[in-house]
Amino acid sequence: MPSPLDLVASYANDPLEGKPVAEVAGFYRRLAGCIEGVVGEGKSLAARFLLHWLDGKGKPLIVEATAINDLQEVKTYLASEVRTVFLTQKKISSSNKWGGIGPRLKGVAPFDTKSPRDPAGNYPMMYEGPPVSTIGYDKFLAVMKKYSETRTISDQEKRYLDIFTSFHKFGIKTEVVVSARQVGATGALANQYKIEFLSWSSIAFDTYDWNYELAFPVPNPDFGSGDAGAVAPKSEVVFVHHSHAKDVKDAGLAADYDIKTTPWKPVDATIIGPATIDLARISGL
């Protein structure tokens, strides 16, 4: 079976090469409508983001957290990266230092600028870790290959395409308040604490911009069109080089912008469930 990368090799020509920048901008606008047609009316983040790039004049965009908070990659990230930092089970990625509740219980200065305890005696904390990656390029190409050959893909595959071209890689900022109750007063139990997450609020954020060195296949909005300005009307899928987005932006016909989601609280026990930590077992704290 051919590799998904064979799909890339099959698009040797650049259908937008030499087109006036206004026509390129028009193609991107038609592409947004075409993507929505593939994903579903009113369901496509990629279409919404692309149109906001063309029309929003750089204004920030806020989207509902439900756009991404059910993704398995997001849940895994919150459980294996964010939760474990808060519980001092994993070091902070950017500094390779311990953060979270452990240093606060030991009396070490907190890693943010907030007071280590709130008036009720609980502990507010914030963490913004490394970016979250969702759909890989190979997976995207495999789905596009299937689409180009069959024009039929599942709802899950439609979402893969949509997420890859919208929220492919993004940050998450999380703020929590935890309580810490000492398990015992003496001996080994004095180092053990029952931790409960009293509140949890995550926000995803990103900047909508383009890597001008990349390119990837997209459904062709002009397939079958008889219009004089149609782009590659005999091709159902075309390979679009992101360098054209730079031309559109530089001509003042589009603008990059910031995106963030509304806050959300996870419900999975693997993320917000209680835990018991043992300060004596944390090496180097």
Q: Give residue-wise pLDDT tens across range 49-65.
A: 999 999 999 999 999 99
Tokens 């026509």 belong to which residue? 23
> Residue ranges per domain, the chain?
5-281
Percent of the chain past pLDDT 90, that is, above it, reads 63
**What mean pLDDT comes out for the span 232-255?**
94
Whether 110 has a pLDDT exceeding 80, the answer reads no
Sign of the torsion formed by the C-alpha atoms of 115, 116, 119 and 125:
positive
What φ, ψ does residue 21 adopt, rounded to 5°? -60, -35
Question: What are the backbone angles phi and psi of residue 163, rounded to the nearest 5°?
Answer: -65, -40
**Rounded mean pLDDT of 3-24?**
72
Task: Return the amino acid letter for 254.
Answer: A
Task: State the distance between the two ends of the chain, measured CA to CA, in whole angstroms.
Answer: 52
Q: Which amino acid is at 211?
A: N
CA dist 236 and 21 (Å) reads 22
Closest residue by Cα to residue 218 from 1, 8, 3, 67:
8
Highest mean pLDDT: which of 188-202, 225-239, 244-258?
Answer: 244-258
Query: What is the predicted pLDDT for the residue at 106?
Result: 83
DSSP assignment of 32-51 equals: HHHHHHHH-TTT-HHHHHHH
CB atoms within 10 A of CB 226: 7
3-state secondary structure of 281: helix
Helix (H) or strand (E) holding 146: helix 137-150
- Reported as a single tens digit per residue, the pLDDT across 149-201 is 887 888 888 888 899 889 989 999 999 999 999 888 787 787 899 999 999 99
Residue spans of beta strands (DSSP E) within the chain:
61-63, 123-128, 132-133, 169-182, 192-208, 215-219, 237-241, 257-261, 275-278
